[in-house]
Structure 1
Amino acid sequence: MSNDIHFGLLQRIGHALFGEPIDREWLMRHLKDAEAAAVLDAGTLSMIQGVLTMGERQVRDVMVQRSQMVVMRRDDDLAALVRVVVDSGHSRYPVIGEDRDEVVGILLAKDLLGYLEPGQDLPFALRDVLRPAVFVPESKRLNVLLREFRQTRNHMAVVVDEYGGVAGLVTIEDVLEQIVGEIEDEYDFDEDETDIEPIDDTSALVRGLTPIEAFNAHFGVTFSDAEFDTVGGLLAHQFGHLPEVGARLEYQDFEFEVTAADARRIEQVRAVRAAPSPDATEDDG
């Protein structure tokens, strides 16, 4: 394609970005034309699309669910806090009181380092290193949240629902991923696909964020959703920690194997329903 056509595309994109307000669909059409003409590469186009759509997305779309938050407790001693840091590898943690609806502050892992130096015998009190928690509503737009994160130099916020209860947490990384994208692997689900992908009659790949109610409906079981909303939250509780890929757990009549996970959540599991025992089969007959 000639330089004149390249220049014309750049002129139109520049006018759209810096000139008079224009319809977003028009802009996206010309950006795609620019990609087709090799003026923009696919990665750049994807980032621009991410920026343009941030104003349409809300915190609830990207937050870590309440049941999957890694938290510390107000009454934990130094050894317990260090164990959580070592097991999870995070840099920031919500600190809770009686339950997850009572977030009393944020702990930065680096603030524990001074108490761990050899020869140090400093008295430790969690309240001395606790930082104020920032609370945001589920409905806040991501572009607004990113601007606030940058202005306040804050990297984490606790998300609250319309009733004031804690719904989850969101980090600046969660927001930036909407621009630069995530690193996908072979186990990632397409957002347009179902939460449960059957393998055969007794097994399926299940997203961690699958509602327990949906899991129950698919398999005809009655897992309780009184304490946890999602399959990932329930299994993280049963493991007692955030498991690594390959970890297995037997729960009720199922064996679960973690097939995808990151430092914050169970992304996907393989659920295999145990075959009925011979005795049970005979009794049914």
Structure 2
Amino acid sequence: MQEIPLSVLFGALVVLFLLSAFFSGSETALMALNRYRMRHRAQTGHRGAADAAHLLEQPDRLIGLILLGNNFVNILIAQIATIIGWRLFGDTGVAIATGILTLTLLIFAETAPKTLAALHSERVAYPAARIYRILMRVLWPVVWLINLLANNFLRLFGVPVDARQRSALNADELRSVVSEAGSLIPPNHRRMLLNLLDLERATVEDIMIPRNEIVVLDLTEPWNEVLDQLLHGSFTRLPVVEGELDRVLGFLHLRDVLPLIERDEFGPEALRQVVTAPCFIPEGTPLNRQLINFQQQRRRIGLVVDEYGDIQGLITLEDLLEDIVGEFTTDSPTMSDDILFQEDGAAMVDGGIHLRELNRLLALDLPLDGPRTLSGLIVEHLESIPEAPVSVRINGVVMDIVQIKNNTIRTVRIPPEHHSPTTPED
């Protein structure tokens, strides 16, 4: 070392600093990569992403390779710096070199390259991955030995090292990713994706039309009234009953009735011939399961029944799709007929509205683990049927009970400061 010129030693020191910065920065960049973006780019043929994905399948080997190179380089830096300090200032120079070396390594070989790599992980990681693939082949025996010793040491303390790290997202994590996507996903699309993820949490009771609101075609009614209901009604599909809802015959589609009227064959017996068998849906069926059932059975409407077979409500494919994409209306794509706004911005809400729909339309956070409707939630909270007018606060939302009829809360007023109506541009 005495014969080596100082200029050569300083040059070697600069090169070793660059190598140390490379090892430190590339380690941070590879660990900071977005795994899903990396896999997507690897599938589209990006060579660097493919190399990075291959290396990260066994992170213990990658870390062993990086630390092997980084520690080897840092040890050489320390030795060369010590020699330079001793040759320039003697024994005092060794102490000076140690202090300067500590500061320069921390700034130029650790902090600066790692910060740069964290900010631009893909630009650093992909080129580095190609270099590491080559180094892994060359230094494989050494890396294997290092990992063998390290893993056995960890096993002594009961640390499992054989299980691969699973990077698959669960539903809640995926929901967080979608929510934080920001400008990468348009707001309307982001809302649809979140609603789609929420299907597994909701059941048919959350969106069904309650039993007392189901419109039926009763064959025991006068025939002229039946015909008038078919011609002037607002529904294309109707449950057909005999006297009461529990005596349901099936469903009738208006398109099957019009040919009978045109051929002058319209009558009770002819009508029964075009009625399709009813579809019964057990209560508690998740919405995502029911969506698949509708698809497999080629159905668009069904009756929700409880464990005793009693009809509790009605659900349609349109109701299910609206829960994902919003209301299918031309006047107000996000508002429901159950919500009317006053001039001061207060929302007048029908007590029978489903809580999931109310939360979505007014950006509320009312609990969903109990009653399905707003009326039921208020009654459960108060533990009695209130007398209007009265106010109640649930989860920070103040609600004024305006109208009660037949022991049921009919209308609730929510002040403007307690809700934020969604709009199509949200």
Instruction: Tell me which interval the TM-score lies in, with the shorter structure as reference length.
Output: 0.5 to 0.7
Contact 2:175–2:197 (CA under 8 A) maintained in structure 1:
no
- Alignment pair present for 1:224 and 2:422: no
SS of 2:230's equivalent? helix
CA shift for structure 1 position 223: 4.1
Structure-2 residue corresponding to 1:146: 291
Q: Identify which of 265, 273, 290 aligns with 1:122.
A: 265
Contact 1:13–1:27 (CA under 8 A) maintained in structure 2:
no
Gaps spanning 5+ residues in structure 2: where? 1-32, 42-165, 328-332, 353-373, 390-402, 412-426
Q: Which one has the bigger helix percentage? A: 2
Higher relative contact order (CA 8 A, sep 6+): 1
Rounded Cα–Cα distance in structure 1 between residues aligned with 2:272 and 2:336: 43
Alignment of 1:158-197 (within 5 A): 158-182=303-327, 183-185=333-335, 189=339
**Residue type of the partner of 1:205?**
M
Structure-2 residue corresponding to 1:25: 172
1:224-282 superposed Cα distances (whole Å, 9 cap, x missing partner):
35xxx6749xxxxxxxxxxxxxxxxxxxxxxxxxxxxxxxxxxxxxxxxxxxxxxxxxx
Q: Identify which of 270, 276, 282 aligns with 1:137.
A: 282
Q: Identify which of 19, 31, 37 aligns with 1:11.
A: 37
Q: Which one has the bigger strand percentage? A: 1
> Normalising by the residue count of structure 1, what TM-score does the alignment of the two structures yield?
0.61
Q: Identify which of 194, 198, 203 aligns with 1:53.
A: 198
- Summarize the Cα distance change of 1:106–1:223 in structure 2 as closer, same or farther, 3 Å threshold: same
- Alignment pair present for 1:205 and 2:348: yes
Contact 1:101–1:165 (CA under 8 A) maintained in structure 2:
yes
SS of 2:406's equivalent? coil
Q: Identify which of 241, 244, 263 aligns with 1:96.
A: 241
Gaps spanning 5+ residues in structure 1: where? 1-6, 191-196, 233-285
Contact 1:59–1:139 (CA under 8 A) maintained in structure 2:
yes
Rounded Cα–Cα distance in structure 2 between residues aligned with 1:186 and 1:179: 14
**Residue type of the partner of 2:334?**
E
SS of 2:249's equivalent? strand
CA shift for structure 1 position 206: 4.5
Contact 2:200–2:286 (CA under 8 A) maintained in structure 1:
yes
Q: Identify which of 219, 222, 226 aligns with 1:74.
A: 219
**Identity, % of aligned pairs?**
26
SS of 2:251's equivalent? strand
Tell me the number of residue pairs that the alignment of Structure 1 and Structure 2 aligns.
205
Spell out structure 1 runs of 4+ moving beyond 6 A: 12-15
**Residue type of the partner of 1:122?**
E
- Summarize the Cα distance change of 1:77–1:21 in structure 2 as closer, same or farther, 3 Å threshold: farther
> Normalising by the residue count of structure 2, what TM-score does the alignment of the two structures yield?
0.42
